[in-house]
Amino acid sequence: MENKEEFSMKKLLIEIILYLVLILVCIFIIPKYVIQRTKVVGSSMENTMFEGDNLLVEKVSYRFSNPDRFDIIVFYPYGKEKDPDDYYVKRIIGLPGESVQIIGEDIYINGEVLDENYGKDPITDPGIARDVITLGDDEYFVLGDNREVSEDSRIFGAVEKKNISGQVVLRIYPFDRFGPMTNK
């Protein structure tokens, strides 16, 4: 009888330890390395996203592949180590090795006008993209969809891949706009 009670206690202890490990993985590992919730602050991504939208950011795929043009990303413009609370949500426009320039309302990639219609309003201030910007091997040029109010690569320059946290994949709130965030 005593062996049966001892076995039950060991089994219970193992179950408790497994549940604790699972809880710790869910609290610390998954949000840091797999997927996390984030919230839109400001109006720089209107009309795609709005202040207060809650998003899920997928963090795994960019470890194995590079971001694509028009992906919506979460990143730290000055590096996560400098300011971990200062993250931005923007759209990738320029890819590594490309040249980017804004002339008038048009965005030029390698001298060709970029065919895109994500901007809420036409660009009136090209910022530092008035001159040609050549992106390095791990640099991206990003813009907010609300081009008139967005602080983006026109102000702070290119974003290094190491400062990209992940890709926005799903809007989870408000519920009436719940759904995947696609580039189409």
Give the active site residues.
44, 90
> Which two structure tokens, joined as six digits, stand for 143?
């813009």
For 17, 20, 39, 145, 159, the CA distances from 167, given in Å and listed in that order, are 33, 29, 13, 16, 14
* 3 state SS of 161: helix
Q: Are 54 and 139 contacting, i.e. CB atoms less than 8 angstroms apart? A: no
For residue 102, which of 77, 87, 78, 119 has the smallest C-alpha distance? 119
Q: Residues for the chain: how many in total? A: 184
Helical H segments across the chain, by residue range: 2-24, 30-33, 153-156
Max Cα separation, the chain?
Answer: 85
First to last CA, the chain: 66
- Identify the residue whose tokens are 């795609």: 48
d(CA 168, CA 61): 11
